[in-house]
């Protein structure tokens, strides 16, 4: 796994003094003690003199570090106080589907609250989490367009514009139609799409196939697929997407199936496991995620990831 250690360095000071960086060594040692084969990327170790860089060198370094953040599997953010730079690194990691672990007393801060999978009030609490194998259930996503390419859609979304609004614009411009097939999200994906005024021009409808029987009877998922691979699998997600596209006669279909929790998980298929598939003419894209939140959080992250995949395809 690849870790990125984000954290406050200079704060908002205009001089070249930096905050105590000993926490980075502590976090690195904790990670490597539990995961000796992990790659730990630390901005301060890469560029210890960066706070004194001139404009061009500083800009180049800043953008390079954002690239590294979006490529991380796990970002550990140390935020004893607010830090704009760390917040941006957290957002980059979030768009790349990394898991975000934050050490901060600011549990009500929106960046901390909404982007973090786990929040700890101290490094000691984070150390205890690692010691009790808190990260062992995590596996990096196998998203087909991870890293910078995976997050590239953000460049097309205007400030204040919602993801579903931009999707509607592109579908309308290209004259394409869309359908969805949902299981664990329970209609949340369709809800977000239809929150856009005029979405009836491109959105044909969706199927909430919560039971295996509904997957078979409505979407035409083969019984053999469900028996061999299970309802939560790439194979079932693909069959759901193909079934929705065929049923509603659309150019594109997106499906979601997973285990929202808190019950229903197994060692092989833990709570938070989700498969997302996009099917179009000659195109089949799939993603596998393991979210670490509660039921509501897992549903919201799944719907968000499905929309991100859709826009990535539309503008890819």
For each of the chain's 316 residues, which pLDDT tens digit applies?
889 999 887 766 666 667 788 899 999 999 999 889 889 998 888 888 887 888 888 888 888 888 888 888 899 999 988 889 899 999 988 888 788 999 999 988 999 989 998 899 999 999 988 888 777 655 444 333 333 333 444 445 655 568 899 999 999 999 999 999 999 999 999 999 999 999 999 999 999 999 999 999 999 999 999 999 999 999 999 999 999 999 999 999 999 999 999 999 998 899 999 999 999 999 999 998 888 778 998 999 899 999 989 998 998 7
156: left (phi over 0), alpha (psi -120 to 50) or beta: alpha
User: Rounded CA gap, 297 and 89, in Å?
Assistant: 21
How far apart, in whole angstroms, are the C-alpha atoms of residue 83 and residue 80?
9
What tokens appear for 217 in the block?
């009877």
Q: Are 151 and 66 in contact (CB under 8 A)?
A: no
Looking at residue 151, its pLDDT comes to: 40
Query: Which token pair is 198?
Result: 């005029």
- The verdict on whether omega for the bond into residue 52 sits within 30 degrees of 0, i.e. cis, is no
**Chain length of the chain:** 316
Question: Residue 41, SS3?
Answer: strand
Q: State the pLDDT at residue 201.
A: 97
Say what the pLDDT of residue 157 is.
60
Q: Specify the domain boundaries for CATH 3.40.50.450 within the chain.
A: 2-131
Question: With left for phi above 0 and alpha for psi between -120 and 50, is residue 104 left, alpha or beta?
Answer: beta
Q: How is domain 2-131 classified at the architecture level of CATH?
A: 3-Layer(aba) Sandwich (3.40)
In this structure, the strands spanning 74-78 and 2-7 are parallel
Helices (H) and strands (E) in the chain, counts: 13, 10
Which residue matches tokens 């919201």?
Answer: 300
- The span from the CA of 285 to the CA of 287, in Å, is 7
Element (H, E) at 6: strand 2-7
If we measure between CA atoms, which residue out of 11, 146, 153 comes closest to residue 67?
A: 146
Burial class for 21, CB neighbours closer than 10 Å (0-12, 13-18, 19+): middle
Question: What pLDDT score does 152 carry?
Answer: 44
Residues of the chain with CATH 3.90.950.20: 147-314
pLDDT score of 14: 61
Cα angle: 139, vertex 307, 220; to 5 degrees: 85
Torsion of CA 109, 112, 114, 117, to 10 degrees: -150
Tell whether omega for the bond before 262 is within 30 degrees of 0, i.e. cis: yes
* Strand pairing report for 283-290 and 273-280: antiparallel
Distance CA 196, CA 268 (A): 38
Secondary structure letter of residue 50 according to DSSP? G
Assign a CATH topology to domain 147-314.
Maf protein (3.90.950)
With beta carbons less than 8 A apart as the criterion, state whether 109 and 82 touch.
yes
Instruction: Return the CA Rg of the chain.
Output: 21
């Amino acid at each position: 796994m690849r870790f990125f250690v984000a954290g406050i360095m200079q704060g908002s000071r205009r001089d070249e003094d930096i905050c105590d960086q000993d926490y980075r060594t502590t976090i690195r040692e904790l990670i490597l003690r539990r995961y000796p084969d992990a790659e730990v990327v630390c901005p301060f170790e890469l560029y210890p003199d960066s706070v004194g860089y001139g404009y061009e060198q500083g800009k180049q370094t800043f953008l390079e570090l954002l690239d590294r953040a979006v490529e991380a599997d796990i970002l550990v953010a140390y935020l004893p106080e607010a830090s704009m730079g760390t917040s941006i690194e957290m957002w980059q990691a979030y768009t790349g589907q990394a898991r975000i672990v934050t050490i901060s007393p600011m549990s009500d801060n929106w960046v901390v609250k909404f982007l973090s999978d786990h929040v700890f009030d101290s490094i000691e609490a984070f150390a205890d989490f690692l010691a009790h194998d808190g990260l062992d259930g995590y596996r990096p996503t196998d998203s087909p367009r991870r890293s910078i390419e995976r997050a590239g859609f953000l460049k097309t979304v205007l400030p204040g514009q919602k993801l579903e609004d931009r999707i509607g614009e592109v579908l309308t411009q290209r004259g394409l139609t869309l359908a969805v097939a949902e299981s664990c999200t329970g209609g949340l994906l369709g809800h977000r799409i239809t929150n856009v005024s005029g979405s009836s021009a491109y959105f044909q409808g969706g199927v909430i196939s919560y039971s295996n029987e509904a997957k078979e009877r409505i979407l035409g998922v083969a019984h053999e697929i469900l028996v061999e691979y299970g309802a939560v699998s790439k194979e079932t997600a693909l069959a759901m997407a193909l079934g929705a596209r065929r049923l509603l006669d659309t150019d594109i279909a997106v499906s979601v199936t997973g285990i929202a929790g808190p019950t229903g998980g197994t060692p092989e298929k833990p709570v938070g496991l989700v498969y997302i598939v996009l099917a179009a003419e000659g195109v089949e894209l799939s993603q596998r995620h393991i979210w670490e939140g509660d039921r509501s959080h897992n549903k919201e992250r799944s719907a968000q990831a499905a929309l991100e995949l859709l826009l990535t395809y539309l503008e890819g």
